[in-house]
Structure 1
């Protein structure tokens, strides 16, 4: 994925690479002389992200706290889908606040889902495209409310999203704890799969557990459609907390679990430049995309 995720030439330059220089230099040696199995595994993951879809898939990205990590993971997943797939991808940001997807893409929204809900449902992609913000080839951005305010309700969300999402192969929906409970539950109920993002800490895992309890109460098949991404914290983890045990419990319930290390590029810059992400970030996010797409089917 390190070589294949493209970025627009007009994107703001990022000064920080996810991997330090010695690791990047070593990567070229690995590419030249590394095991063939590593290459085959990457190819197989890319093929899994490209799997055919009969009807558009809606993937909700949520978390126990409205941290920047959720916005970063939603943006990265959108970029992965847009790169590998030949159909359209919509990144929909219904989380209230600072519009993390727009910041991560370096894009400025034109309209919002609220604006689309005020009109008759669009009958073609050509009719709705002028309302969307193009991020790159096959990827568009749309906020839930104008200016990131909480102005979207359940009625408007369902009225606009369901007709809109049929024009896209994948719709990645960034949700968040700041939303009204009814709207947040509606986002989860209407999604084909769910990605929960949290810090790899006691509080993060407990928060994920609470969301899972709510999802299972509404639909006991939720674990089979859920992937958890645990992000390494900025400070060291609590040595007394049994994180491997917690991960095993989640996996035992049928939930997919991935661990994402800290990336210097994501931490130091706002606009994502895929060419500067750490190799481990590329690999993990592509694996998450393949797994969540599989579970959405």
Structure 2
């Protein structure tokens, strides 16, 4: 599920792409639905209800990775889809990684405008209708506005973040910001500092767990010892049985002691085979994991 290494034009496979679950599993799940325990259905209902809780002011969630190739744009796109599905307010997504269009490709859109266009044009929208021409509609209640276009910063710095982006988020219930690794300019620092919750994505491997541990150590060393309580760690399995030696349960237990939530996102055939994914084709386990990540992030944002 590494969106950084997909072949050009992979999005064209979406309509006829593979389902995340095999045909046998999908048929079997349909046959067994009437015989499943009622508490399993209740859990799904409760999960959806919790994601619909009222938000009085806009919440910003930053999705980042301690190392490249973790799949944070996939996670961002999944979270955006979950929030837009369950909530009645608007959801905004942004990719502020210089030179990257991974999030746009995952969402299946080609934005024509960026935050930089708003900044350079000195636009100051007083309503959502005035902002809408700069946005790219993804689906109902979900929009995208890249932080940069074609990798160009063009003066979009930390001051621009506070001057331009923060006022815009008031038009949305949730703003998801896809922030790449090892980017420490003023814009990225401002995005990180302004977040109400953080989703930290790493491969489901021993190396991925070590990168998360190093990130936590860095936070503590830089006076952010309380930050782990605002973090949801997502271990992404990018291939079946990617690292058989990885002790996922042990790593999760250690990270949870710091206050962080931990969710595993298993391998999904549909996400691996396509660029712009179809929410109807992802595996049932993927949908459940994405909803749990969204709920954990929302709880911390509130």
Q: TM-score, normalised by structure 2?
A: 0.89
CA distance in 1, matches of 2:226, 2:234: 19
Is the 8 Å Cα contact of residues 204 and 246 (structure 2) preserved in structure 1? no
Distance 2:165 2:199 in 1: 19
Aligned residues: 288
| Distance across 2 between alignment mates of 1:209 and 1:121 | 41
Distance 1:115 1:284, change over 3 A: same
Residue 25 of structure 1: aligned partner = 27
Q: Is the alpha carbon distance of 1:242 and 1:263 closer, same or farther for their aligned partners in structure 2, counting shifts above 3 Å?
A: closer
Name the CA shift for 1:218/1:164 in 2 (closer, same or farther; >3 Å). Answer: farther
Tell me what 2:268 maps to: 263
Given that residues 62 and 195 in structure 1 are in contact (C-alpha distance below 8 angstroms), is that contact kept between their aligned partners in structure 2? yes
**What is the aligned counterpart of 2:160 among 156, 159, 173?**
156
SS in 1 for 2:145: strand
Q: In the TM superposition, what is the alpha-carbon distance from 1:185 to its structure 2 partner?
A: 2.8
CA distances 1:217-271 after superposition (whole Å, capped 9, x unpaired): 3533311211000011426455555443222110011100001101000000001
Give yes or no for contact 2:70–2:236 (8 Å, CA) kept in 1: no
Q: Does 1:166 align with 2:170?
A: yes
- 2:119 paired residue number: 117
Corresponding residue of 1:250: 255
* Counterparts of 2:128 and 2:108, CA distance in 1: 23
- Alignment partners' CA distance in 2, 1:159 and 1:65: 29
Aligned mates of 1:237, 1:265 — CA distance in 2: 17
Of 123-132 and 172-181, deviating more is: 172-181
C-alpha distance in 2 between matches for 1:73 and 1:188: 17
CA deviation string 1:100-133 (max 9, x = no partner): 1110111110211111123143211111111000
| Contact 2:77/2:103, CA 8 A, preserved across alignment | yes
CA contact (8 A) 2:95 2:178 kept: yes
TM-score, with structure 1 as normaliser: 0.91
Whether the 8 Å contact between 1:114 and 1:157 is mirrored in structure 2 is no
The question of 1:131 aligning with 2:134 is answered yes
Contact 1:201 1:233 in 2 (8 A): no
In structure 2, do the counterparts of structure 1 residues 127 and 218 end up closer, same or farther at CA, with 3 Å as the change threshold? farther
CA distance in structure 1 between the aligned counterparts of 2:297 and 2:285, rounded to whole angstroms: 18
SS at match of 1:275: coil
C-alpha distance after superposition, 1:66-89 (max 9, x if no partner): 326111110010011011100000
Q: 1:229 to 1:144 in 2, by over 3 A?
A: same
Alignment of 1:1-297 (within 5 A): 12-67=14-69, 69-118=71-120, 119-151=122-154, 152-216=156-220, 217-234=222-239, 236-297=241-302
Residue 194 of structure 1 and its aligned partner are, at CA, apart by 0.3
The whole-number CA distance in structure 1 between the counterparts of 2:234 and 2:70 is: 13
Gaps of 5+ in 2: 1-12
User: Counterpart in 2 of 1:5?
Assistant: none
Unaligned segments of structure 1, at least 5 residues: 1-10
What displacement does 1:182 show? 4.0
Residues 1:21 and 1:50: Cα distance change in structure 2 (over 3 Å): same
CA–CA separation in structure 2 for the residues paired with 1:243 and 1:289: 20
